[in-house]
Every structure is written in structure tokens, then in C-alpha cells.
A and B are shown apart, each in its own frame.
Chain A
Amino acid sequence: MSQRVVVNPIACEAHGMCAELLPERIALDDWGYPIVDGRPLSADLIEHAQRAAEACPTFALLLQADGAPIRASAGASRPAPPTVRNVRRRPEPVVRRQTRQGRRR
């Protein structure tokens, strides 16, 4: 089942996170708003797309499964599969512990 990225232009506030995290599919226009390439995502891009959607401060970036309706209400549509959560959460505490140790020294 293929997925594509969709942007809710009403929710979007041009923070530009998505273009940083998914430059393969998202460029920014003159005013910083995303220009989204709506072609289906290849397997190697899905994880990046999920991360970009999670990083959007206004939940304006949505992942749409082929044929499935987009859940439009902000927040409820946030795609957050467990694998992505693990990827995001595990490394962070490690980094923090290291810095704290560094400070103690």
C-alpha cells in the first residue's frame, strides 16, 4: 500500500521543518510554505515522511494511505507508528546523559 504526503494549507504556518526532513518531496516557496510532491512515497522515504509529519509544529503535514480518506482534524491525523517513536525516543536520553556527565567533569 503506497502512501503520499499531503499538507493542510490552513494549518500550515510555514515553519519549514518538513522541507528540512523530507527534501526529496518537499520544497519551500518564496514565502516559506511547502510545495509538496504528491507522488507515492518509496519505501525508503516513508520513515523520513513520518518523521517530518511528527516534527510539524502545527500537524499540518499528513500522510495519506492510497485510497484512504485523510483524517483532517489536526492532531488526530498525526501518524506515529511505534517504530518511529522508538527511533526518536531512544537516542535522546543517551545524548542528555552524556552531556550531563560532561558537565560534572
Chain B
Amino acid sequence: MSATIAATLPRLLLGIDPQSALSLQDHLAVHGPMPGRQTGARRRFGRRSDLGGGLVDELERAGLRGRGGASFPTATKLRAAMAAGGRPIVVVNATEGEPASMKDRLLLQSLPHLVLDGAVLVAQALGAREAIVCVCETNADLPSVQHAISERRALEEGVQLRFSVVPNGYVTGQESALVQHLSGGPALPRFTPPMPFERGVHGRPTLVGNAETLAHVALIARNGAEWYRQLGISSQPGSTLVTLSGPLAHPGVYEIEHGASLSSLLDAAGGLSATVRAVLIGGYAGTWIDARATHALAISDEHLAPFGASVGAGVIALLSADACPVAETARLMRWLADQSAGQCGPCVNGLHAIASTFALLATGTAGDGAAQNIARLISLTRGRGACRHPDGAVRLVESAAQVFGEELADHARHGSCTGCGRTAELPLPAWSDVAREDRARRTRGMARGSSKLRASAGA
């Protein structure tokens, strides 16, 4: 993979070596020693809130928000975990189920100690004795993490670091799914509340933090909130990692400050090698934005809000004008429907119905009223899952209807276009087929008329 460092801004990516992981020694030489270690202080259970207050206050002043997609204030999460009863556990979420995102993999592969620093600091602040690094099956072969964990044993930080492999899937990295997996259950989202930071792994308050979020914690703890806020905009300070893909000379992971313009990012990536029709922002369950609107576009939640988009997991996928946006969206929507955990009826049935109708629309066989039917199905599906998966999936289709109105009407009338047959530009992960079979097994009996009462009545 190509790891490119934005010259103006190496914060997280400072000192990165794309060929190998930064050793503990090199990492400490680049960023300085671990801050705020209370050597000799007894981390006693009842006093943990006094110990961690400093870091949490600093994170609050910095305005750090989670980088896994939900953008939840990190300090709020930490305080909630502190207030809950029982000794907390820290979970590093590097599962990165988002197929177009590579930032967490890059961090673990090249800068594992930055992530582990953050995990240890948060664990020390909470009085946790254990931090678990979670990666998906695809990334389970990263030797850098295992090696980094063994390197840190000598530091005697009072936090036991563990490594855990989570099944591949779009929703298996969802916070409550991770917690359920680590408690010995299936890696599927569960009904909340209680939130993981109230009752998480084995009933203990669990702080689940995205790998990039924890890497920022490591730097804020060293350099302070003021330093962090020197970059970015007031509503969203600091820098962020984005995964840029599309017809570019150098696609890959970039570190930008919030509010940076898309055009400057494209320049850093060597410029466009083809005309772009639209940009998919946030993730596959993200938002399409018309390329004509992107010349002045800035990357921050504030600037993306008018488009109904957010930075999300930092995915910026450019779709070339040669590709068929309708076919690409239909394929992504089918995949997202297949990625439903299969637990909630509205998500299983709703996403499946939307994907099927959209696919018919793409081939011109949907008949009259298909667009209205999709709009109705979207309103039936949104907000009715235990997790946010259905909401994200319908957002993709909704934004496609807005941005690709012309193409959609054309497909509805004339069927497939010349671009429909092209190789897909937005890649789907290789594990998808296995996941589909798995889902089919789980969702058997969720369709209408198959609930237990009706089944017994019919028997």
C-alpha cells in the first residue's frame, strides 16, 4: 500500500517508514517519552478518577472526537467509563470494516507504538489493567502489532496488552459487536443502552477507541490541547487521516487538517488522471457529492453538512466519469444489504428490498413508481436498527438519487448503459462471499410470515 506523508503536516505520520514498523526506540526518539506516568503511584481502584482527570480534561480542551465514523467526543466517553462501576477495560478498535479505508491498517502496520501509547495512556487514566487490540481477520497477519506488544513489556506500564482477531464484516467492528465478541459471544451489534462504556466486556465499563483516535490521544497527552488546536477549524480542530482512492497518481492514506480543501488534497496526491463524476465521502455507507460541487469543497463536518455528508471514517473515493454511478451504487447497496448482521427485521428486509428495487432500476426493469417506492422503503428503514448500519446504507442510496438523478432516469427508461459493464471502481473485499453465506444462515426465517407463532399456527 502507498503511505504518503503530507509534507506540511506530519503529526501522526511523523517519522513513518512505509517499508517497516517504527520500533519502540525510534518511536520514542520521534515523539519523546510517554508523558504523565505516575511511577510508583499506586493505581488504586477507588482513586482512579483522580489519576485520569488530567488527561480527560486535556482531551476535552482539545475537542478530540472519535475517528471510527461516529465522531463521538472522546472525553465524554472516558468520563462515562470512569463514572460506571467496576474496573474498566480498554479496547483498541482497528477492525476497519470499511473496505475503502486503510488508515487503521497503516497505523498498526507502520506506527503501532503510537496507537499502543494512546491505549496505555487511556488505560492508566481509567485505572484499567487490560487493553485489547482488535483487528479483523484480514489484518490478523500483521506481525508489527505482536512485535510492538512484546517490545513494550520492558516498559512495565501496568497495562497488559492483548491482541484479538475479530471476524471480517462491515458491522463486526461496531462498538457493541466488539464488546459482545470479546465477552465470548458473536461479533454482532447488541441492543443499547447500556452502552459499552457503562457495561461492556464481561459487564465491565469498556472504553472502545478507534486506533487513530488513540494515536491522537498519544500526541495530545505529550503536546497538549493548545498544540492540537493549532490545526483544523474551531468546530473540528486537529488533523485527521483520510484514505483517498480514484483516478489519481498517488492514491493512499493522507494526513490533512480538518477544513483543508479537497483540491489541495488532490494536488498532494499528484492530481487527477481522469474526469471525476462524483465523490463518495465518509465510507461505503456514506454520501455521494457531485464533482461539480467539489471544486471549493473543504473536508470537515461543518463544510460537508450542507451535502448531508460527514468525514466519517475518512474515506474519500473519487468515481471517474467513465464509470456508471448507478451500477456502482447498486453494487454497493447490495453489498451493504448483505452486510446486515441479520438481527433486526427492518434492516434485513428494508435494505434487501431497497437493494433489489435499485438493481431493477439500474437495469431498466423496475417499472413505474420504483423511485417513489425506494423513497418509501428508505423512510421505513431509517433509524429502526439496533445499530446505525441501516441509516448509513439508506444514506448512500438517498444521496445517489439526488446526485445521479439524470443517470437514474436514463437507466429507468433505457436500461443498462455502456458504463455498467465496466470493471467496478469501488472494490469490495474478498471475504464478502463467505459473509453472504453466513448472513443467509443467520437470517433464515426473518422474512414476513415466518415468525414462530405463525409457523406453529400453520403446522
Contact = CB atoms under 8 A, between A and B. Distances in A.
A33 B452 contact: no
Contacts of A9: 191, 343-347, 384-386
Contacts of B192: 72
Interface residues of A, number: 18
Interface in B329-355: 343-347, 349-350, 353
A57 B189 CA distance: 22
B41 interface: no
B451 interface: yes
A30 to B, nearest CB: 7
A14 B452 CA distance: 9
A18 to B, nearest CB: 13
Contacts, number: 64
B277 interface: no
B380 A29 contact: yes
Given A10-B191, A70-B193, A57 B386 contact: no
A30 B192 CA distance: 25
Interface string A2-17: 0000001111111100
A57 B454 CA distance: 12
A12 B345 CA distance: 8
Contact of B345 (A14, A57, A70): A14
Interface residues of B, number: 25
Contacts of A10: 189-191, 343-344, 386
B174 to A, nearest CB: 13
Given A10-B191, A70-B193, A30 B448 contact: yes
B191 to A, nearest CB: 5
A81 to B, nearest CB: 22
B344 A12 contact: yes
Contacts of A23: none
A9 B447 CA distance: 14
A14 B451 contact: yes
A91 interface: no
Contacts of B384: 9, 33, 35
Greatest chain B CB density within 10 A among A13, A15, A29, A31 is at A31
A70 B452 CA distance: 26
Given A8-B386, A14-B451, A57-B452, A33 B345 contact: yes
Contact of B380 (A15, A30, A32, A69): A30
A8 B380 CA distance: 16
Contacts of B386: 8-10
A31 B344 contact: no
B459 interface: no
The 6 residue pairs across chains A and B that have the minimum distance between CB atoms: A9-B344, A33-B345, A31-B349, A31-B448, A10-B343, A8-B191
Given A14-B345, A30-B380, A33-B346, 19 more contacts: A8-B191, A9-B191, A9-B344, A9-B347, A9-B384, A12-B345, A13-B345, A14-B448, A15-B451, A15-B452, A15-B453, A30-B349, A30-B353, A31-B346, A32-B345, A32-B448, A32-B451, A70-B193, A72-B190
